Amino acid sequence: MRKFLLFGSIIGLLLQADASQLGFIVLDLASRTSGQLPAGWQIKVNHGRPNITIGRDPDGSFLHLKSVKSSFSLEREVDVDPAQMPLLTWRWKVAELPKGGDFRHSSTDDQAAQVMVAFTDRRVISYIWDTTAPRGTLEMATSIPLVRIYALVCQSGDAEMNRWLPESHNILADYLRAYGKQPPHVKGLRLQINSQHTGSDAESYFGEVAFHSAQQ
């Protein structure tokens, strides 16, 4: 009996190892209900009051963020090697954009939705849905002491508002493009919304967020 149990344990470990090579779901909302934060995530408030809910629609479960002249986020620590899992995927929807938001100016640096990837060398790639900056723009964002942030505009303006959109980005390639060298490990992920600079409102939704190998 001990041999069979040991064999089963070995098979289980092999299956887990194989799954880890294929993907890692960072934001898993499938089993969440209203009032429950996703496992491993914490609320961080920069300004104002956070408004975060969990819900479900015909497209699946979602995280809902509503900002009223505020700035807050959900953060999670991770340890991901971009060489093994370079693809970051998620789905999002924006229902309201901060009026006049534009990350290229500190006085208007508000976005309805951001996915921020933090690396162990204090560098960050921020994937954003901006109100004004053109899609595809990659520029240094507002500086934070001891941290460098490059923002990549994935979506811009209201043309795709109120629609769920899938995103897939190669964080290895994006880091190399921004910083000119190979990236170290990813140490954290942040989902953020802010509208305090423009003194307006913003609203967004996030679905599953995951890292994948290049084969996905």
- pTM value is 0.86
Distance CA 209, CA 25 (A): 6
pLDDT, one tens digit per residue, over 150-208 is 999 999 999 999 999 999 999 999 999 999 999 999 999 999 999 999 999 999 999 99
Q: Which domains does the chain have, with CATH numbers?
A: 25-212 (2.60.120.430)
Query: Could you tell me which residues come within 8 angstroms of residue 146 by beta carbon, excluding any fewer than 6 positions away?
Result: 122
Amino acid 163 reads: R
pLDDT less than 70: residues of the chain: 1-21, 31-35, 143, 215-216
Q: What Å distances lie between residue 28 and 50, 90, 138, CA to CA?
A: 20, 11, 28
What the block records as the tokens of 132 is: 């004004």
Residues in the chain: 216
